[in-house]
């Protein structure tokens, strides 16, 4: 067990809509528990910044691992809504202010422009690129501290003009360049680029240089069905133009499964390893570091709980078993059926009522909570439960039951020897959901909750390990 300590932190923040929820969510995302929180609007100027209705002071008591507090606060200080942070270090009160505030006048929200700070001496600057189905996100990191982040939302009607995902490359790439130019990011200061990996051939975990074979496979019909393929493709184009190395980190096809986990009972059909490798590995590394152990010396069960749910058995740095998050294994999810009896599905397939694509959509897009309750919005589900909908409560609790059962299966894979069980992903924000899981599995091992996910930091951290010489870069062979 890790030793925890309660710390008192004082933050001066700009009075922006949603600032309280944003900060509280960020603190919880870092693995800390909020014990007490008070907010008071500043009546006068504070720390040299405008007072009155412009800023407020938050006093927060948080509980967590003491050694990580300074690092957590440094990341929070980079949020554009934070003016300063005060905390006790070595018995003295230390005040840190957001660097941009020294030179930048606070202006109205619609006028505020980010100021990119010069790269810190000795730091590595990494650009991370992560395309989603309707968005393109990129972030700039100095080591593991975010310098700038931007999520570009693409209009669905605009994307539908393109025949394929690959045809969207120029649009998304140009949007990145335009935004970088707007905030005056000097590309010459960037040491490496991390692109989100797509549906490549199965590979071991690690950081891979983007090479010709990888780009060839990312242009295949299989890989091109999802925008994640564009992460490495765009990263490679930018890297080639500016002579910067480019990499992918732990794509969803990471396959380290034990041979016993592959057989299904039907020759010709093997179990596949398709899961949230990037987030699972990153969160496992974070907890291992907080425990003071290398990830490669740990045994974890990691449950990524989101629109898809994957639960992996991590043994000494390798995920030796995990449910296939795409093809219908494991618990049902907000939008997927998970594992279901095979023969009734066969009857449906041959009933003549459904096309092949309609059956695939039933399993992969329109199953789970969406099929039962007509929504994938967990806030809406919780509202139903709060209003007395007993069936909604049954559905949510059944999903937690199935997650618990899968965790139990992975406990058997690890022979009952585990350092911890980790719950992460968007659904981990729900205390009802995680509480129902904890109730069933906390006798197996200590349970740690890391709500949400930070894929951008995970991408940057992977590349940083290579730049710092802590990890060897791998070559994709296809």
Sequential DSSP letters for 38-77: EEEE-SS-BTTB--TTSEEEEEEEEEE-GGGHHHHHHHHH
**pLDDT score for 86:** 82
User: Which band of pLDDT confidence, cut at 50, 70 and 90, is reported for residue 29?
Assistant: low
Least confident of 12-21, 143-152, 166-175: 12-21
Starting at the edge strand found earlier in the chain, the sheet holding 135-142 runs: 145-153, 135-142, 125-131, 192-195, 246-249, 207-209, 474-475
pLDDT tens per residue across span 189-214: 999 999 998 889 999 999 999 999 99
- Helix (H, G, I), strand (E, B), or coil: what is residue 431? helix
Evaluate whether 332 touches 362 at the Cβ level (below 8 Å): no
User: At residue 159, does pLDDT exceed 50?
Assistant: yes
User: At residue 64, does pLDDT exceed 90?
Assistant: no
How far apart are alpha carbons 71 and 164 in whole angstroms? 42
- What is the fold of 125-255+457-475? Nucleotidyltransferase; domain 5 (3.30.420)
- Helix (H, G, I), strand (E, B), or coil: what is residue 317? coil
pTM above 0.85, yes or no: no
How far apart are alpha carbons 115 and 225 in whole angstroms? 36
Q: In which residue ranges of the chain is CATH 3.30.70.260 found?
A: 5-107
pLDDT tens per residue across span 75-103: 677 777 788 888 776 666 677 776 543 33
Q: In which residue ranges of the chain is CATH 3.30.420.40 found?
A: 125-255+457-475, 277-452
Region 368-378: mean pLDDT is 93
**pLDDT score for 91:** 63
pLDDT tens per residue across span 285-310: 999 999 999 999 999 999 999 988 99
For domain 5-107, give its CATH number from 3.30.70.260, 1.10.600.10, 1.10.1040.10, 3.30.300.30. Answer: 3.30.70.260
pLDDT tens per residue across span 430-452: 889 999 999 999 999 999 999 88
Starting at the edge strand found earlier in the chain, the sheet holding 309-315 runs: 318-322, 309-315, 299-305, 420-425, 447-451
User: At residue 245, does pLDDT exceed 70?
Assistant: yes
For domain 277-452, give its CATH number from 3.90.700.10, 3.30.420.40, 3.40.1360.10, 3.40.190.10. Answer: 3.30.420.40
Closest to 169 in 3D by CA, of 230, 235, 127, 224: 230
**pLDDT score for 175:** 92
User: At residue 458, does pLDDT exceed 80?
Assistant: yes
Please provide the average confidence, as pLDDT, over all residues in the chain.
85
How far apart are alpha carbons 452 and 43 in whole angstroms? 35
């Amino acid at each position: 067990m890790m030793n925890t300590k309660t710390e008192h932190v004082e933050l001066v923040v700009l009075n922006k809509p949603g600032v309280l929820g944003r900060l509280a969510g960020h603190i919880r995302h870092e693995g800390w528990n909020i014990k007490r929180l008070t907010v008071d609007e500043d009546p006068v100027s504070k720390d040299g910044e405008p007072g009155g209705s412009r800023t407020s002071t938050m006093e927060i008591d948080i509980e967590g691992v003491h050694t990580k507090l300074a690092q957590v606060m440094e990341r929070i200080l980079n949020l554009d809504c934070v003016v300063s942070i005060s905390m006790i270090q070595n018995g003295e009160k230390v005040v840190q202010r957001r660097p941009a505030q020294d030179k930048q006048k606070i202006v109205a929200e619609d006028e505020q422009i980010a100021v990119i700070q010069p790269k810190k001496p000795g730091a590595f600057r990494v650009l991370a690129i992560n395309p989603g189905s309707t968005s393109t996100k990129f972030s700039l990191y100095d080591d593991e501290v975010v310098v700038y982040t931007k999520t570009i939302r693409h209009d669905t009607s605009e994307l539908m003009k393109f025949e394929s995902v690959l045809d969207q490359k120029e649009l998304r790439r140009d949007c990145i360049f335009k935004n970088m130019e707007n905030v005056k990011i000097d590309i010459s200061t960037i040491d490496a680029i991390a692109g989100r990996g797509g549906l490549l051939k199965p590979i071991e975990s690690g950081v891979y240089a983007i090479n010709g074979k990888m780009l060839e496979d990312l242009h295949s019909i299989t890989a091109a069905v999802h925008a994640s393929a564009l992460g490495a493709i765009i990263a490679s184009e930018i890297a080639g133009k500016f002579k910067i190395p480019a990499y992918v980190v732990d794509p969803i096809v990471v396959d380290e499964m034990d041979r016993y986990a592959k057989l299904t009972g039907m020759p010709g059909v093997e179990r596949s390893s398709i899961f949230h490798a990037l987030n699972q590995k990153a969160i496992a590394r974070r907890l291992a570091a907080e425990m003071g152990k290398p990830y490669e010396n740990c045994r974890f069960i990691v449950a990524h709980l989101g629109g898809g749910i994957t639960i992996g058995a991590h043994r000494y740095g390798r995920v030796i078993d995990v449910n296939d998050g795409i093809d219908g294994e494991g618990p049902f999810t907000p939008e997927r059926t998970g594992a279901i009896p095979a023969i009734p599905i066969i009857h449906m397939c041959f009933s003549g009522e459904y096309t092949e694509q309609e059956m695939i959509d039933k399993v992969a897009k329109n199953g789970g909570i969406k099929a039962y309750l007509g929504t994938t919005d967990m806030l809406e589900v919780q509202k139903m439960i709060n209003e007395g909908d007993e069936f909604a409560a049954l559905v949510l609790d059944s999903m937690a039951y199935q997650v618990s059962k899968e965790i139990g299966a992975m406990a058997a894979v690890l022979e009952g020897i585990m350092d911890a069980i980790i719950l992460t992903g968007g659904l981990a924000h729900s205390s009802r959901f995680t509480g129902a899981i904890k109730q069933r599995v906390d006798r197996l091992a200590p349970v740690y909750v890391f709500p949400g996910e930070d894929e951008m930091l995970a991408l940057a951290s992977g590349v940083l390990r290579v730049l710092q010489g802590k990890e060897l870069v791998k070559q994709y062979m296809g």
